[in-house]
Structure 1
């Protein structure tokens, strides 16, 4: 059975803004390893559009920075599932991003079927999607990369959580530049 892992960067005060945190080579290498072990990436519309507006261009015109360029290639090749009620279609010719499936609603049974399949783990990387999947009790692991920055405002990661979710810290991974990755599993009920 594959795990569904919520993996996301956040500020020390719990806000998500991919543009407010700069990934250095060490962070990119970490996420490159994560992508090498990914069977699919699951995004909401906003995160998907943010990512597809940047990474396909790097595949076509590499930066010359190996960890960044490797990340672009890895994320391009991994199957992506996008949940959106507003997108009507995803055209890889227009976006330049391949291997993308569009779904308009999260169906718990469909996610459970994905988890039952053989293969590499599934990774969710959008704040609202992580909340929706958590509320459906579908997340097996949380990988929260807490960056040493305080935004003071923005999109909180766990906005709209309805019920308490107890977690157990299983390990940490510090990075040289100051971020720390916290690995949590849901506590036994």
Structure 2
């Protein structure tokens, strides 16, 4: 992407009706700050590391409220959770 992040990502979203997958906490933080994330899909692993990075290391300007779309337990103990931002 070149230039304005908001304009570039919005153009990408407009060209990708099935969505854009982001796996970077740093990029996700910036996209969330620009209110460009519509849905979240999280994987919850059955362990607590006790250390390491968080999803939003630099925080967000305000709390995000989410609506639960679906939850699916997988055979390996991982749980997938799908949320949509509350309007």
TM-score, normalized by the shorter chain, greater than 0.5: yes
Whether 1:168 aligns to 2:62 is: no
In structure 2, the gaps of 5 or more residues are none
State the TM-score, normalizing by the size of structure 1.
0.42
Give the structure with the higher percent helix: 1
Distance 1:106 1:124 in 2: 18
State the TM-score, normalizing by the size of structure 2.
0.86
Whether 1:132 aligns to 2:30 is: yes
Whether 1:121 aligns to 2:3 is: no
What is the aligned partner in structure 1 of residue 48 from structure 2?
A: 150
How far apart are 1:121 and its partner, in Å? 2.1
In structure 1, the gaps of 5 or more residues are 1-102
Cα distance change, pair 135–171 in 1 and its aligned pair in 2 (3 A): same
**Deviates further, 115-124 or 132-141:** 115-124
- Aligned residue pairs total 86
Distance 1:120 1:185 in 2: 14
Q: Map 1:68-79 to 2 at 5 A.
A: none
Q: Map 1:48-87 to 2 at 5 A.
A: none
Distance 1:164 1:106 in 2: 25
Q: Any runs of at least 4 consecutive aligned residues in structure 1 with deviations exceeding 3 A, and if so which?
A: 103-106
Higher RCO (C-alpha 8 Å, min separation 6): 1
Cα distance change, pair 164–113 in 1 and its aligned pair in 2 (3 A): same
How far apart are 1:106 and its partner, in Å? 5.8
The answer to whether the 8 Å contact 2:2/2:8 transfers is no
